[in-house]
Amino acid sequence: MRLVYPDWITADLPGIGGTFKATAEDFLVEEIPSYEPSGQGDFLYLWVEKKDVAAREFQEILSRAFEISTQEIGIAGLKDRAAITRQWVSLPKNRESLLGAFDHPAIMVLNRNYHSNKLKTGHLKGNRFAIRIRGTGPQAREHLPLLLKRIEEKGVPNAYDLQRFGRNNETWTTGWDLLKGSPSRFVKPWLRRLALSALQSGVFNAYLAERMTEGLLHKVIPGEVLGKSPAGGLFNAPIEESELPREQERMDQHEIVGAGPIYGWKLLPCKGPALEREQKLLEIFSLKKEDFFKERKLMEGTRRRNVIYPRIEVLGWEGSDVQLRFELPSGSYATRVLGELMHTDFAQKEPEQNADCSDGAEFPES
């Protein structure tokens, strides 16, 4: 099945061009944790800065240094390779005696603490970015304010970017084979999780692209699942047309957004017309709800907000280079924000191994 990447919300405006990640220093990512370590407990929390280290490589380095399996290492989210990243990791407290001997040229321990539970995937509110775009176009300074105003008004479609799908979409293809083709095929546990998630992500992108094409990204559909923005509870929109204006007004004020499907056997369902739309999308991908029972632990299903509204701060210009700062909620991709400004189709480029500009995960709503 062909992967679909939704168009830019700024597609009718001139982009600023340029490149990013010329050096790791051009791309700084810092986690915004869901909670701070309590200072007590059986787990050692390390606030770590790494430079130009892929996510899997990072775990393997820690595994060797602290003489534990990668499964014993707690990480809230995957981080990009070509970047400077700061994040918490957790280890069993009994490994602390090895910390003094830890020495790696690309990984620095900035702080330590303790907590009562292992850090788990999804234990973060989002990520904070400081990014330098180099070599922008000759009219970039005039174009950038127009782009930022559009994003302030319309937000950014919360699509998954190419990092989710692997080099030449291999991760996506593996997910499809596991669910529909060769379920008996042996795949390492970490890759199985990523591959099945990539399959879900690709279907969500198709859902999002369809809504944009039909002009429904900012319109409440009767019976659809809505969510508070940027985070909070989920609920169904009314079925009755007469009751929709109130929710539409809240959407126009960016209080709520549509919450599209990350398909799974436990997905919070839509109703009425919205349910019909989501069922048709499954049919396009030759999927049925029963398919997701094959991977019950990894494909429960959840909802992902269709639109995010990042506040982008321009830190300054140096010639044709501009430095930006913004925050994104957990699971959202910085490259989707940059694409809206630069109009660079990152989806057509070869991704770096294990690269991910978000935390790289989707999690059930609580």
- Where residue 75 sits, what CATH number does that domain have? 3.30.2350.20
pLDDT of residue 121: 87
In-domain check, residue 104: yes
Determine the 3-state secondary structure of 52 from DSSP: coil
Type of residue found at 302: T
One digit per residue, the tens of pLDDT, for the chain of length 366 reads: 678 889 999 999 999 999 988 899 999 999 999 999 999 999 999 999 999 999 889 999 999 999 999 999 999 988 888 899 999 999 999 999 999 999 999 999 999 999 999 999 889 999 999 999 999 999 999 999 999 999 999 999 999 998 889 888 999 999 988 988 765 668 888 899 999 999 999 999 999 999 999 999 999 999 999 999 998 999 999 999 999 999 999 999 999 999 999 999 999 999 999 999 999 999 999 999 899 998 989 999 999 999 999 999 999 999 999 999 999 999 999 999 999 999 986 544 433 333 334 443 333 332
Determine the 3-state secondary structure of 112 from DSSP: strand
DSSP 139: T
Q: Does residue 356 contact residue 31 with C-beta atoms inside 8 Å?
A: no
In terms of residue numbers, what domain contains 248? 156-308
The H-or-E segment that residue 2 falls in is: none
Q: Does residue 128 contact residue 314 with C-beta atoms inside 8 Å?
A: no
Q: Which of 364, 250, 322, 330 is nearest to 76 (CA)?
A: 330
Which are the contacts of 346, defined by CB distance < 8 A and separation ≥ 6? 161, 162, 335, 338, 339
Same domain, 107 and 37: yes
Active-site residue, from 26, 80, 321, 356: 80
| 316 strand-pairing partners | 323
Same domain, 220 and 109: no
Determine the 3-state secondary structure of 318 from DSSP: strand
pLDDT of residue 190: 84
Same domain, 341 and 266: no
pLDDT of residue 349: 43
pLDDT of residue 80: 80
In-domain check, residue 141: no
In-domain check, residue 169: yes
Q: Are strands 124-134 and 19-20 parallel, antiparallel or unpaired?
A: antiparallel
Same domain, 260 and 232: yes
Q: Which of 224, 243, 247, 225 is nearest to 234 (CA)?
A: 225
pLDDT of residue 276: 96
Other Cβ atoms within 10 Å of 40 Cβ, number: 9
Same domain, 262 and 304: yes
- With 0-12 / 13-18 / 19 or more C-beta atoms within 10 angstroms meaning exposed / middle / buried, residue 127 is buried
In-domain check, residue 150: no
Same domain, 281 and 270: yes
d(CA 178, CA 103): 39
Instruction: Report the C-alpha dihedral over residues 270, 271, 275, 277, rounded to 10 degrees.
Output: -110
Domain count, the chain: 2
pLDDT of residue 89: 97
pLDDT of residue 346: 58
Please name the residue ranges forming H helices in the chain: 55-66, 140-154, 170-176, 189-213, 244-252, 272-284, 334-342
pLDDT of residue 183: 59
Going across the sheet that includes 225-228, the strands are: 234-236, 225-228, 256-262, 302-305
In-domain check, residue 364: no
Determine the 3-state secondary structure of 269 from DSSP: coil
Same domain, 125 and 54: yes
- With 0-12 / 13-18 / 19 or more C-beta atoms within 10 angstroms meaning exposed / middle / buried, residue 14 is middle
Same domain, 284 and 297: yes
Using CA atoms, how far residue 251 sits from 64, 178, 254, 306, in Å, is: 49, 38, 5, 12
Tokens of 134: 């180099």
| 80 given a catalytic annotation | yes
Same domain, 253 and 168: yes
Determine the 3-state secondary structure of 310 from DSSP: coil
* pTM of the model as a whole: 0.89
Q: Would you list the DSSP string of 218-235?
A: TSPPTT-EEEESSS--EE
In-domain check, residue 73: yes
pLDDT of residue 86: 96
